Amino acid sequence: MAESTNTLMEKDSVVVRFAGDSGDGMQTVGELFADASALLGDAIVTFPDYPSEIRAPAGSLPGVSGFQVHFGATSVMTPGDKADALVVMNPAALKVNLRELEPKGLLIVNTGSFTAANLKKANYETNPLDDPALEEEFRLIKVDINALTNEALKEMPLKPALRARCKNFFALGITYWVFSRPLDMTLEWIETKWREHLPMMADANSLALKTGYIVGENKDVDIPQYTVHKRMLEDGIYRKITGNEATALGLIAAAENSWRDLVLGSYPITPATPILETLSKHRNFNVKTVQAEDEIAAIGVAIGAAFAGALAVTTTSGPGLCLKSEALGLAVITELPLVVVNVQRAGPSTGLPTKTEQADLLQTLYGRNGESPVVAIAADSPSDCFNCAIEAARIALKYRTPVVMLTDTYLANGSEPWKVPEVTDIPDISVEPIKHGENYVPYQRDPKTLARRLAVPGRPGFEHRIGGLEKTEVGLVSYDAENHEKMCRLRAQKVKGIANDIALPDVLGEQRGKVLVVGWGSTRGAISMAVERLRKEGKAVGYIHLRHLNPLPHGLGDLMKQFETVVVPEMNLGQLSLVLRAEFLVDVKSISKVQGRMFQIAELVEAISDYL
């Protein structure tokens, strides 16, 4: 091959997107690319983009699977607005993802999959690679990955179908060369995965990866190569972590630091299932997991565990939270500590089960019969799910109340580097137990927190009744009207009083003036970057991000009234906006998006600017 005339381009950060058929291994190579970048010390944020179908027809538009990685030294808080480089494995992937590529961005196309049959499946009348406009708008690199992979592996005694399955590693090898990523970690991963049981596949994938790298290095076509600036890291141990993994580890840490066993009752549901899978691997930390037959049984297991003195957790997504609503009311009236993790997805009903949304807030706050207040908190990044899980457990145990922890598909599946905390830095959230010999009254309350006293059943002197029927303070069933109102007000007052235990978050930027942006949950990265961009332009913008959504922190209403306009970007049709209007009588403006996709920084800059 001729000597390359490649140019070297310097960047602070880069966005790379892999896209192909759901059987092409795009999630695998995307994760490995992210791992290699993390190993170099880059900041990374990832966004796996799964199809909803379990296995859509090969080559079809609904079957396209994507994985986006944003990595670099600075300003890496989102998966990126548009990709600097897009690797597509077939026509359907090109059609679905071309809009995600920056003008003049690098477009690497597997020409071997642009057959007449695949073009028809993607609704192309002609081959888009023959259109001169494509080459004018983007930096188009045509590589027959299918043929080159087959040629590289022709000496290996593999069936053609097995050779073809290695094309994702060939594409990854090219991309590693373009972005100066090391091969060592990925070669080690291949060895670990296949050497023992499928040694031939280990050799084939390793060879495909190396050959792809060499093709990038020596190809006649002028493929640009990037060098990405390094960032300075604090000393410590780092690992790449997803939101679901961080949630699971946070729950384990909370159980350890509350001196309780962890009991999870869960029913598998996208995208929350990995929390169950992760916790089931950690029985050595006194973790007990129960995969129940349905959502109702799952929360029933958790409530029983809470009654027995464990740190009780149930995990679900929006449809499952609907099914758990009656039992969640039972946890409210019995005043048992319970953590409910709701990994939100796009609805209603089945909706878009693999896409993201923030549309379960109103269901969380109000979706039960009767006066049934629960605490609601939200994580704001994949690694923040660790701290958020501990905070959910802390409040549940201290105030003897259910706490709903809200994450979403983007946080659950996305990943970023996480500095592993020192054990001594994790707070002690244990609650002082009732001592033997004390006179136990089930609904006798702490005068400061209004939390009722809890006793583990089965111990002499602590016999008592709880259940779904209203009780008196001494634990007797009561149908008395005045008693019912008293208990309802006490439960509501207890939850409202938790605001005394949380701080108003710091305000980024202006403390008063033209526009205050209020965010919650996974929108933090996009809003932070948008506000930073506006402030660099001299715009008077303030920004506050909320973790605690019920109760809201003291002082929020007064802060909002210091600004002419309050705007709330959220991936729903204005749910937090509705709550803030009702709570503080402020005319809150909603910036809404319900496309199953995250906000882009540019669209938030434009939307917020409309109020400036």
pLDDT for 294-320, tens place per residue?
999 999 999 999 999 999 999 999 999
pLDDT, position 139: 94
Question: Cβ(129)–Cβ(111) under 8 Å?
Answer: yes
Top pLDDT among 57 and 115 is at 115
Residue 4 has pLDDT above 60, yes or no: no
DSSP letter for 445, please.
B
- The model's pTM is 0.94
pLDDT surpasses 80 at 220: no
Q: What does the pLDDT look like over 493-529, one tens digit per residue?
A: 999 999 999 999 999 999 999 999 999 999 999 999 9
C-alpha 177/C-alpha 179 separation (Å) is 5
Confidence of residue 7 (pLDDT cuts 50, 70, 90): low
Per-residue pLDDT tens for 325-355? 999 999 999 999 999 999 999 999 999 999 9
- C-alpha 551/C-alpha 376 separation (Å) is 7
Confidence (pLDDT) at 228: 86
**What is the spatial distance between Cα 383 and Cα 241, in angstroms, rounded to a whole number?**
6
Q: In whole angstroms, what is the distance from residue 456 CA to residue 376 CA?
A: 26
The angle formed by the CA atoms of residues 58, 110 and 595, to the nearest 5 degrees, is 60
Q: What is the pLDDT of residue 432?
A: 87
Q: At 591, which helix (H) or strand (E)?
A: strand 588-592
> What pLDDT, in 10s, does the model give residues 401-455?
999 999 999 999 999 999 999 999 999 999 988 887 788 899 999 999 999 999 9
Give per-residue pLDDT as tens, 143-168.
999 999 999 999 999 999 999 999 99
Taking 70 as the threshold, does the pLDDT of residue 465 lie above it?
yes
In this model, does residue 563 exceed pLDDT 70?
Answer: yes
> What element of type H or E holds 65?
strand 64-72
pLDDT at 17: 98
Query: What burial letters (b/e) apply to 195-220, b meaning 16+ CB within 10 Å?
Result: eeeeeebbbbbbbbbbbbbebbbebe
| 97-148 tens-digit pLDDT | 999 999 999 999 999 999 999 999 999 999 999 999 999 999 999 999 999 9
Between β-strands 508-509 and 541-546, what pairing exists: parallel, antiparallel or unpaired?
Answer: antiparallel
Q: Where do the domains of the chain lie, and which CATH numbers do they carry?
A: 8-228 (3.40.920.10), 239-425 (3.40.50.970), 508-609 (3.40.50.920)
Mean pLDDT of 159-188: 95
What is the secondary structure of 543-590 as a DSSP string? EEEESEEESPPTTHHHHHTTEEEEEEEESSSSHHHHHHHHHH---EEE
Task: Give the pLDDT score at 439.
Answer: 87
Percent of the chain predicted with pLDDT > 70: 98
Query: With left for phi above 0 and alpha for psi between -120 and 50, is residue 287 left, alpha or beta?
Result: beta
pLDDT of residue 224: 82
Backbone φ and ψ for 422, nearest 5 degrees, come out as -70, 145
pLDDT in the model for residue 5: 47
Asked if 224 and 178 count as a contact pair (C-beta separation under 8 A), the reply is yes
- Angstrom distance (rounded) from CA 142 to CA 155: 25
Query: Is the model's pLDDT at 259 over the cut of 60?
Result: yes
Q: Smallest Cα–Cα separation from 354: which of 58, 63, 600?
A: 63
Q: What is the pLDDT of residue 275?
A: 98
Nearest to 34 by CA among 79, 100, 97, 95: 79
Average pLDDT over residues 57-63: 92
pLDDT band at 232 (very low <50, low <70, confident <90, very high): confident
Give the position of tokens 């049934």: 372
Q: What pLDDT was estimated at residue 75?
A: 73
Give percent above pLDDT 90 in the chain. 86
pLDDT score for 221: 62
pLDDT-derived band at 2 (thresholds 50, 70, 90) equals very low
The pLDDT score that the predictor gives to residue 436 is 78
Degrees, nearest 5: CA angle 243-32-93: 90
pLDDT the model gives residue 6: 52
Tokens of residue 536, six digits: 């660099």
Q: For residues 351 and 9, which has the higher predicted lDDT (pLDDT)? A: 351
pLDDT at 3 over 50: no
Q: 172 forms bridges with which residues in the sheet?
A: none
Answer yes or no: is pLDDT of 397 > 90.
Answer: yes
β-strand pairing of 238-242 with 415-419: antiparallel
Q: What is the mean pLDDT of the chain?
A: 94
Q: What is the pLDDT of residue 219?
A: 61
